[in-house]
Amino acid sequence: MTTVKNIYDYINSIAPFDTQEEWDNSGHLVGDFRAEVKRVVLSLDATKEVVSYCADVNADLLLTHHPVIFSKLADVKSGSVVYELVKNNIACISAHTNFDKAECGINANLAELLEIKNTEPYCGGFIRIGELDGEMSIDDFAGFVENKLNVSGIRYTECDNVIKKVAVGGGSCGEFMDYAINNADCFVTGDLKYHEMLDAYEQGKAVISAGHFETESSAFLMIKDKLEKIFTDVEFLVAPVSNPIKTAE
C-alpha cells in the first residue's frame, strides 16, 4: 500500500524539502500523511479547476509545483481550493523551489526539453548552463524554443549573437539574468520584465522570455515517469488544463 508519506519521502529523496528557500512553503500542505494513495493528479498549480478535476476522478493526492498555501490563510471558506481539498479528502504535496534546483528538477528538465546538453547548475541551482548540438541565430533559436515548449508569442531581444551556449531558468529568474547573459550566449527563462530585457538588448545580449507556465509546466510533469516506475500500484494523471493566462492572437 502506498501512502501520502511514501510519495513525500520519494520526492524528498530527489529534491529535499529542506533545500527550499526561506520564503517558500513546499511540502505536505493538506491532508493525512498516513492516507492510502491509489490515484494522484499532477499539475503546475492548484486552481479551482484542478481541484474539481481531482474530485471528479476520485484522486487521493494532488501534487503541484506551486504551493497550494503560500502565505497565512485568513479564512478557509466553502469553494476555496483548500476547503475543497479537505472536503473531498484530497491530500496535497507541493514541490516548489526544492524542485526548481534539484538535479532532476525544473531547470534540468527544461534544458532536456530544449535539447541543451552537458548542463551544470549555477546560482544555487536556479539556472543551468549547457550547449546546443549546433549553432543558431537568435531568430532560429527563438523559433526552436517556441516549438519545443508549444508556445506562441514569446519575447526575445534582437542581436547578432551566434547561439551555442545556453542558460535556462524556469519561471521567474530575472534576478539571475546578469550572471546568465555574461556566461552564456542566450538566457531562456519565463518572466522577464521589459526593463530587464531592454538592459540585455543594450548590452547586445540574447534573452528569451518564454512564459512562466510554459517554462515550468512540462518540466514539472516530467516527474510523472519517475513516480510511475516507483509506485506501480498508483495511477498518475495529469490535470487537463492549459495556461489560464491567455495571449490574444
pLDDT of residue 127: 96
> Reduced to 3 states, what is the DSSP secondary structure of residue 26?
coil
At residue 248, does pLDDT exceed 80? no
Mean pLDDT of the chain: 95
**Position 246 in a domain:** no
Amino acid in position 3: T
**Position 244 in a domain:** no
pLDDT of residue 75: 83
Least confident of 28-32, 63-67, 77-81, 128-132: 77-81
pLDDT band at 246 (very low <50, low <70, confident <90, very high): low
- Report the chain's terminal Cα–Cα distance, integer Å: 48
* Mean pLDDT calculated for residue range 4-22: 98
pLDDT of residue 91: 97
| pTM metric for this prediction | 0.94
CB-based contact 114:55 (threshold 8 Å)? no
Q: Please indicate, yes or no, whether residues 113 and 49 belong to a single structural domain of this protein.
A: no
**Position 167 in a domain:** yes
What percentage of residues in the chain have a pLDDT greater than 70?
98
Least confident of 60-64, 193-197, 242-246: 242-246
What is the residue whose three cell numbers read 534576478?
A: 175
CATH number of the domain to which 125 belongs: 3.40.1390.30
* Mean pLDDT calculated for residue range 86-103: 96
| Beta pairing, strands 186-189 & 206-209 | parallel
Q: Please indicate, yes or no, whether residues 87 and 152 belong to a single structural domain of this protein.
A: no
Q: Please indicate, yes or no, whether residues 124 and 182 belong to a single structural domain of this protein.
A: yes
Q: Print the domain residue range for 58.
A: 4-95+222-238
pLDDT of residue 152: 82
Q: Please indicate, yes or no, whether residues 67 and 114 belong to a single structural domain of this protein.
A: no
Number of domains in the chain: 2
Q: Please indicate, yes or no, whether residues 87 and 162 belong to a single structural domain of this protein.
A: no
CB-based contact 39:237 (threshold 8 Å)? yes
Q: How far is 173 from 220, CA to CA, in rounded Å?
A: 16
* Mean pLDDT calculated for residue range 128-146: 97
* Mean pLDDT calculated for residue range 22-33: 96
The conformation of residue 175, written as its DSSP 8-state character, comes to: G
Task: Dump pLDDT digits (tens) for 149-188.
Answer: 998 889 999 999 899 999 999 999 999 999 999 999 999 9
Q: How far is 71 from 68, CA to CA, in rounded Å?
A: 9
37, three cell numbers: 494513495
Q: Please indicate, yes or no, whether residues 35 and 83 belong to a single structural domain of this protein.
A: yes
* Mean pLDDT calculated for residue range 43-54: 96
pLDDT of residue 249: 56
pLDDT of residue 247: 64
* Mean pLDDT calculated for residue range 116-127: 97
pLDDT of residue 153: 82
**Position 170 in a domain:** yes
Q: Please indicate, yes or no, whether residues 38 and 136 belong to a single structural domain of this protein.
A: no
Q: Please indicate, yes or no, whether residues 22 and 115 belong to a single structural domain of this protein.
A: no
Q: Please indicate, yes or no, whether residues 46 and 69 belong to a single structural domain of this protein.
A: yes
At residue 244, does pLDDT exceed 80? no
Q: Please indicate, yes or no, whether residues 68 and 39 belong to a single structural domain of this protein.
A: yes
pLDDT of residue 72: 77
